[in-house]
Amino acid sequence: MTHRTFLPLSLSPPVRDGLGVGLVVGVSGLAFGTTAVSAGLTAAQACALSLLCFTGASQFALVGVVAGGGNVIAGAVGALLLGGRNTLYGLRLAELLGWRGVRRVVAAHGVIDETTAVALAQSGRTDARTGFSVTFATLFLLWNCSTLVGAIATEQIGDTRVFGLDAVGPAIFLALLWPRLREGGRVLLVAVLGAGIAVAATPLLPPGVPVMLAAVAALAGPSGAPTTGGPGSAADPSAASAAPEGRQP
């Protein structure tokens, strides 16, 4: 079942796409709030990350480094590396959307996998703008609200390991990666190389550094635009309901 099947048919395609992707991916903020507080952040810090960073994969990467004992600087570097792909999205969307001034500045904060996927799937500038705006607004609101709920709930629980919530973060990453791993070929090769580098470097380097070092495995990957990601995916938005995102909010 895709997001198109449970939204009113009277809505225009870009609105349906935007709402569907935003609703499906936005609830993943619950997992981020849980993971962030489990890693030692406060609820306020977790919410600030979702508000100011708003790219799921980078957020999970940062708290993952902190949870492993690494410092915030190492986590921030890793998050920036993952978020670098949004720059490439921005170059494409700047031409497609054609916004200027304040609207362009606001839109820049919403350039992530999901908004890019929906915008590029539309026909014409008007629909692209609508799809981008609806996706951004829906996902930003829901991601931040669910982050708050997850963070506060986890603070109240105390020891999250009792409920197995410490496994939520890794489970989200696996859900994001699994569709790509099933493709096999060079994608699987990159995954295996990255895992091997991280495992080999873990006993030798400070926490967080092995993960960043593993990024060199991407050099062996396929060329072309990314088709999956994190707060999702830059693939067909109708497939985005199959997995949660990151930014990459």
Per-residue pLDDT reduced to its tens digit, 191-214: 888 888 888 887 887 665 676 677
Whether the pLDDT of residue 56 is over 80: the answer is: yes
Report whether pLDDT(24) > 80: yes
pLDDT band at 186 (very low <50, low <70, confident <90, very high): confident
pLDDT score for 243: 36
pLDDT score, position 75: 77
Distance of alpha carbon 22 from its chain centroid, rounded? Answer: 12
- For the chain, the domains span 3-242
Instruction: Count the neighbouring beta carbons within 10 Å of the beta carbon of residue 125.
Output: 14
pLDDT > 90? residue 100: yes
| pLDDT in the model for residue 233 | 41
pLDDT tens-place string over residues 118-142 = 999 999 999 999 999 999 999 999 9
The residue type of 144 is: N
pLDDT the model gives residue 105 = 94
Q: List, for residues 213-230, the tens digit of each pLDDT value.
A: 777 777 765 554 444 344
Task: Specify the pTM.
Answer: 0.68
Residues 6+ apart with CB under 8 A from 200: none
DSSP assignment of 12-76:
-HHHHHHHHHHHHHHTTHHHHHHHHHHTT--HHHHHHHHHHT--HHHHHHHHHHHHTT--HHHHH
Both tokens of residue 104?
A: 């362009």
